[in-house]
């Protein structure tokens, strides 16, 4: 009987250490998943903003090209890089703070029009993880997230 008690006493506490170790691993995994999910949601918000800006910029016609005498009978609304970029700047300046609440929000290349009828808007921002664990500590300064949205100009009527 004493050998049995001695063996039981030698194993005391090992289950507790194992439980604590696995609990810490599970907690670290949950924190990493929370951080990655938050970054993904911020990217989706930035993409929604870029979609809205691209849709607004798609109707920013270049008036000189549209009303010019040398315009062919093309029914599409003519866009230029400068008209799209100016519309993006105006939209972001007029948007409420809650809509453009991104750190280091910037208009990136290729913002403009690739073909004269499509508005292409690229926005970038810095997204920081809400919980910094040892697994993501190299990126505590944040990630630069860049998104591109396109909208095609359609003539009215």
pLDDT digits (tens, 9 = 90+) for 39-54: 899 999 999 999 999 9
Residue 10 lies in a domain: yes
Q: Does a structural domain hold residue 157?
A: no
For residues 132-155, average pLDDT? 80
Residue 67 located in a structural domain: yes
Query: What per-residue confidence (pLDDT) applies to 42?
Result: 92
Give the confidence band of 20 by pLDDT, cuts at 50, 70, 90: very high
55 vs 10: which has the higher pLDDT: 55
For residue range 77-123, what is the model confidence (pLDDT) as tens digits? 678 888 889 999 999 998 887 777 888 899 988 888 888 788 999 99
pLDDT at residue 10, as a whole number = 62
Q: pTM of the entire structure?
A: 0.75
* Band of pLDDT at residue 13, cut at 50, 70 and 90: low
Q: What pLDDT is stored for residue 3 in this prediction?
A: 65
User: DSSP string spanning the chain?
Assistant: -HHHHHHHHHTTTHHHHHHHHHHHHHHHHHHHHHHHHHHHHHHHHHHHHHHHHHHHHTT---HHHHH-TT--S--SPP--HHHHHHHHHHHHHHS-TTTT--EEEEEEEEEE-SSSSEEEEEEEEEE--SS--TTTGGGTT-EEEEEEEEEE-----
Domain that holds residue 63: 2-152
92 in a domain, yes or no? yes
Tell me the C-alpha distance between 106 and 14, whole Å. Answer: 54
Tell me the percentage of the chain whose pLDDT exceeds 90: 30
């Amino acid at each position: 009987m004493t050998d049995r008690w001695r063996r039981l006493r030698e194993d005391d506490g090992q289950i507790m250490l194992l439980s604590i170790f696995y609990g810490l691993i599970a907690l670290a995994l949950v924190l990493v998943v929370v951080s990655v999910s938050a970054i993904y949601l911020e990217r989706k918000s930035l993409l929604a903003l870029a979609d809205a800006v691209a849709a607004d910029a798609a109707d920013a016609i270049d008036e000189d090209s549209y009303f010019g005498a040398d315009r062919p009978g093309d029914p599409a609304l003519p866009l230029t890089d400068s008209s799209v970029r100016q519309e993006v700047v105006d939209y972001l300046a007029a948007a409420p703070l809650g809509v453009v609440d991104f750190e280091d929000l910037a208009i990136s290349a290729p913002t403009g029009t690739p073909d004269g009828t499509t508005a292409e808007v690229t926005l970038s921002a810095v997204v920081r993880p809400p919980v910094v664990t040892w697994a993501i500590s190299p990126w505590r300064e944040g990630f630069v997230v860049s998104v591109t949205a396109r909208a095609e100009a359609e003539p009215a009527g």
